[in-house]
């Protein structure tokens, strides 16, 4: 009997030992699978992080500024650009608000030599926006403005945008003072407005697609105007729906026509198709030669006045917003 009892105990021990080994094996498999799951989770978690980092690296560094200056210029306009850099765009660090100027050039179908020249220029100054999908031509100015506004809206944080041509001279200190006091507002559209301009139906600038009315809708003349950030964003977001006309300033005025906009007419913007002369009250002067820019800059440095001698070439007007646009703009003497 003792032998039988011993035999039974040995068999039970062996079975228990086998059972324990089986449990241990199952436990090891469970731990292995758990580690594999954790490892996979960690690996999967790292993928989005890598993607995020890669995406962050692909996003251009945003420009932070109070006033963004968008300057339309041609590829061969280096002399004008240099004149602006050495005059009213010089000493930007002395201004009490941040300003970022950028020249805009379309480079589609640009010759290799011209492309090399503007790239070298940008390497020195870092102040040119290249539009690769735009052929730089005068007739394509509306497309140029639209593409530039889209680029700026995507790459810059700013409060206001000043659009000028490369033959415009600007008194930045006055512009900044006004934007921080009198015209510190949303939906700002500030410049020299026309509401009575006849639509061109013949000639090289005929508006074949214009069927809104017999006059252009009120618009700020293209030699220089200011838009607040929200209006720039509106144009950029809706760019695919906007009809482009022959003139960029007419186009901008039409795009903003149905909006609740603060339109500010200011005769200190001498921004028409030709200069009205030189007046010490002017803050944006259009149709300026390179020598004009240097002379105005020297005069301002000398005695704080824009003009060596004031001249009057054409009457101006104060826009009357209370009457129909066709009666808005009666020119008279005594207005700069």
Distances 12 to 1, 5, 8, 20 between C-alpha atoms, Å: 17, 11, 6, 12
The full length of the chain comes to 336
Query: Residue 217 CB: number of other CB atoms within 10 A?
Result: 18
CA–CA separation, 299 and 308 (whole Å): 6
Which of 195, 188, 198, 247 lies closest to 222 in space, CA to CA? 247
Q: What is the pTM of this model?
A: 0.81
Q: What is the pLDDT of residues 13-57, one digit of tens each?
A: 455 555 555 555 555 555 455 454 434 333 333 333 443 333 333
Mean pLDDT, all residues of the chain: 87
The SS3 call for residue 57 is helix
The predicted pLDDT at position 26 comes to 53
117-155 pLDDT, tens digit per residue, is 999 999 999 999 999 999 999 899 999 999 999 999 999
Q: What is the pLDDT of residues 82-118, one digit of tens each?
A: 999 999 999 999 998 899 999 999 999 999 999 999 9
208-214 — which CB contacts under 8 Å span 24+ positions?
A: 209/243, 209/245, 210/245, 212/254
What are the two backbone dihedrals, phi and then psi, of residue 258, each rounded to the nearest 5 degrees? Answer: -80, 0
Residue 79 tokens read as 């002399």
> How far, in Å, CA of 65 to CA of 67, rounded?
6
Strand, helix or coil at 333?
Answer: coil
Q: Which two tokens stand for residue 261?
A: 């906009």
């Amino acid at each position: 009997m003792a032998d039988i009892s011993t035999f039974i105990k040995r068999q039970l021990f062996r079975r228990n030992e086998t059972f324990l080994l089986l449990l241990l094996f199952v436990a090891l498999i469970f731990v292995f699978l758990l580690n594999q799951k954790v490892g996979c989770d960690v690996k999967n978690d790292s993928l989005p992080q890598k993607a995020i980092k890669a995406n962050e690296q692909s996003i251009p560094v945003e420009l932070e500024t109070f006033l963004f200056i968008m300057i339309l210029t041609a590829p061969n306009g280096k002399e004008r650009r240099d004149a602006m850099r050495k005059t009213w765009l010089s000493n930007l660090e002395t201004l009490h608000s941040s300003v970022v100027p950028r020249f805009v050039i379309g480079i589609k179908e640009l010759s290799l030599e011209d492309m090399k020249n503007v790239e070298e220029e940008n390497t020195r100054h870092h102040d040119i926006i290249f539009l690769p999908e735009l052929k730089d031509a005068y007739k394509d100015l509306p497309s140029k403005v639209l593409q530039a506004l889209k680029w700026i809206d995507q790459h810059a944080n700013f409060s206001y945008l000043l659009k000028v041509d490369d033959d415009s001279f600007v008194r930045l200190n006055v512009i900044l003072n006004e934007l921080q006091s009198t015209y510190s507002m949303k939906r700002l559209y500030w410049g020299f407005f026309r509401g009575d301009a006849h639509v061109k139906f013949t000639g090289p600038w005929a508006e074949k697609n214009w069927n809104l009315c017999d006059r252009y809708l009120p618009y700020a003349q293209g030699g220089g105007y200011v838009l607040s950030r929200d209006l720039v964003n509106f144009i950029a977001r809706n760019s695919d729906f906007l009809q482009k006309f022959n003139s960029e300033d007419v186009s901008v005025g039409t795009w903003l026509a149905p909006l609740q906009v603060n339109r500010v007419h200011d005769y200190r913007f001498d921004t028409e198709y030709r200069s009205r002369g030189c007046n010490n009250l002017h803050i944006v002067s259009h149709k300026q030669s390179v020598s004009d820019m240097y002379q105005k800059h020297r005069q301002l440095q000398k005695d704080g006045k824009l003009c060596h001698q004031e001249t009057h070439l054409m009457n101006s007007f104060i826009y009357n917003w209370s009457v129909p646009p066709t009666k808005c703009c009666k020119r008279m003497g005594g207005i700069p």
